[in-house]
């Protein structure tokens, strides 16, 4: 595991791209000095036909437009993809949201744009971005956990992203917190993602409201009267208003998250763990609750130097990290 990405210097102005399932964020980034500044940016919708040439052409057009506005051509481009990536070859092996399998993204973009292209997984890029340009850099080593629709993360050790033997280190959503427990989308049972992701929280709430519409009254009402439409945000909202069922559902998700974080802390003994993603944004009080829980559950030696904090960069951490990984 733990392949280290090349640290060759790149020019100070570079292009960072966050290629997601619904939108593509493209930015010109100035990396001179210690900070990274977004000089200009464009956001375009993602073509999800599964035909990668549409996305390649859309990116090429946007990059040209930004370079014309800038009056300068950049020699390097870093792209973070919501999918499994072989970083060395720049092959995207699987990106379900893009309907891609084995797309040689690096080669396609290099041929189209005549630039040096670097490809990385988006969650790993986000982790590195938070470490390099956010609060993480003040720590020697950092772990990020993004709790959103799904759960993913990354590990930075001594300033290097740990990639693993197959570029997928950091899949913390599939830590098993209750073996034999809830079925997860990955096919296994008891994964952290099956308890604490936005998807899991929404599902638990829909099932609970269906089982007891009386207890689920507030949740059903928050979802416009449709129990089948209840999602994670509705649960957070109702819990904030004191609804008992929503509070109980969030409690179990939080217990699972504390268990998963405890596993990470005892296994890796990090200096800092940063939490981001939609579920954390919807439940900002979780940061303190996770910290309290982990301090109670993990080994004292493993928490002696541990800090737990929210991420700070928002969605820009993805393209900033993709660029930072090549610096």
> Which residues of the chain form contacts with its own copies (CB under 8 A)?
1-2, 4, 84, 93-94, 140-141, 155, 157-158, 162-172, 174-181, 186, 188, 190, 255-256, 258-260, 262-264, 266-271, 297-299, 301-302, 304-306
Contact 261, 145 (CB under 8 A): yes
Nearer to its own copies, 193 or 316 (CB): 193
Q: How far is the CB of 275 from its own copies (least distance, A)?
A: 16
Residue whose C-alpha is closest to residue 196's, from 165, 153, 241, 139: 153
Residue closer to its own copies (CB basis): 27 or 169: 169
Phi-psi category of residue 225: left, alpha or beta, with phi > 0 → left and psi -120 to 50 → alpha:
left
Map residue 146 onto helix, strand or coil.
strand
Contact 95, 103 (CB under 8 A): yes
Select 1 or 35, whichever has its Cβ closest to its own copies: 1
Closest to its own copies by CB, 44 vs 135, is 135
Q: Minimum distance from CB of 30 to its own copies (Å)?
A: 31
Shortest distance, position 107 Cβ to its own copies, whole Å: 21
Residue 297 CB partners (closer than 8 Å, separation 6+): 258, 259, 262
Nearer to its own copies, 14 or 84 (CB): 84
Tell me how far, at minimum, the Cβ of 171 lies from its own copies, in Å.
4
Q: Give the shortest CB-272-to-its own copies separation in angstroms.
A: 9
R_g over Cα of the chain: 20
Closest of 26, 32, 28, 25 to residue 14, by C-alpha: 28
């Amino acid at each position: 595991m733990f392949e280290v990405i090349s640290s060759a210097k790149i020019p100070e102005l570079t292009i960072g791209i966050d290629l997601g399932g619904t939108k593509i964020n493209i930015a010109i980034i100035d990396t001179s000095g210690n900070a990274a500044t977004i000089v200009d940016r464009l956001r375009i919708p993602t073509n999800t036909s599964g035909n990668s040439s549409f996305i390649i052409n859309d990116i090429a057009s946007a990059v040209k437009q930004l370079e014309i506005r800038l009056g300068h051509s950049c020699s390097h481009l870093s792209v973070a993809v919501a999918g499994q990536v072989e970083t060395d070859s720049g092959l995207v092996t699987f990106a379900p949201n893009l309907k891609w399998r084995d797309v040689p993204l690096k080669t396609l973009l290099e041929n189209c744009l005549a630039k040096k292209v670097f490809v990385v997984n988006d969650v790993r890029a986000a982790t590195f971005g938070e470490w390099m340009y956010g609060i993480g850099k003040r720590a020697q080593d950092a772990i990020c956990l993004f709790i959103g629709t799904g759960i993913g993360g990354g590990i930075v050790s001594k300033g290097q992203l740990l990639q693993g033997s197959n570029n997928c280190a950091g899949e913390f959503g599939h830590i098993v917190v209750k073996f034999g427990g809830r079925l997860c989308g990955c096919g296994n049972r008891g994964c952290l993602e099956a308890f604490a992701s936005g998807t899991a929280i929404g599902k638990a709430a829909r099932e609970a409201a269906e089982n007891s519409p009386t207890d689920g009254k507030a949740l059903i009402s928050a979802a416009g009267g449709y129990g089948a439409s209840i999602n994670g945000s509705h649960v957070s909202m109702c819990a904030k208003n004191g609804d008992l069922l929503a509070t109980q559902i969030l409690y179990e998700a939080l217990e699972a998250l504390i268990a998963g974080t405890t596993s990470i802390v005892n296994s890796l003994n990090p200096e800092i763990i940063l939490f981001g993603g939609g579920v954390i944004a919807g439940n900002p009080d979780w940061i303190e609750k996770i910290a309290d829980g982990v301090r109670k559950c993990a080994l004292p030696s493993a928490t002696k130097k541990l800090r737990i904090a929210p991420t700070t960069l928002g969605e820009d951490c993805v393209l900033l990290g993709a660029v930072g990984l090549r610096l």
